[in-house]
Structure 1
């Protein structure tokens, strides 16, 4: 009797599982995915410019043609010297966008973060490979994954990806989004 009930339940859920699998099809060729991959590639400095390539001005020059913002150097007045500086912007797409934040200290940018809803981290990894970057898997944890991204002739960066959802049972509607963080000079 129990076996028949489990089989019946499995048959009821099978179409739902098949539908869920059909909903995700890799889309690394979407313009917004390619644009996000381009920002990651361009944000990493050429190896010959490593010494100054992480400066606010240098990063701004490389990525501002893709991202809507102006990354200006921090003002050292009226705050502690070890304060984390943050600038926000976005990558524009057809009917969508990707939120971008840049973090650093007084002297240099240390991290870029991306928030996106309309594609998955796997799409981004494939778009990075299509852009010529070597993407090597580092680790997979319960809540995030790590990859080393090395575009040709450029410094490597640590790309951390995660899917963040509101907790089940919360009063807010269930909502999920994807995040990626590119850490500079992580070695």
Structure 2
């Protein structure tokens, strides 16, 4: 089962909706493309989560979302993503003990930096939607457009967190970065 999820993750990232159409870009108004990208988002998030291991046998049960984002609603209403997600409006009061997984949508840079400073070095898998360089401290950074989703892995942040991410996911993140 795990190998199937990894294959789907790889396919979602590399193949995406462009291959079927033979084009390099897709229209924002193309509903089919949006649905495919949303589906790829779900598979990518679930793939990353399923190929991550927390230290000391921790089973992640608390998943948090802050900020706005194009696909954040999919975290709440998707059977492919098997975690319970809670949304937090007040970024300043969110404490690390509330989250094993933290999805950060679009928030202002000051709030983003403050939020990540609370989680650095803790076993919390942080996935950001608003950090194209992936240098602020999030473990995984998503780069999204209308036609595809890519991600970067901050190896420094991964090492400090104690969370182990499968080498194939790390390799995939590096390959996507090289193709950028």
TM-score, structure 2 normalization: 0.28
Work out which structure has the larger RCO, using CA pairs closer than 8 Å and 6 or more positions apart in sequence: 2
The structure with more strand, counted as a fraction of residues: 1
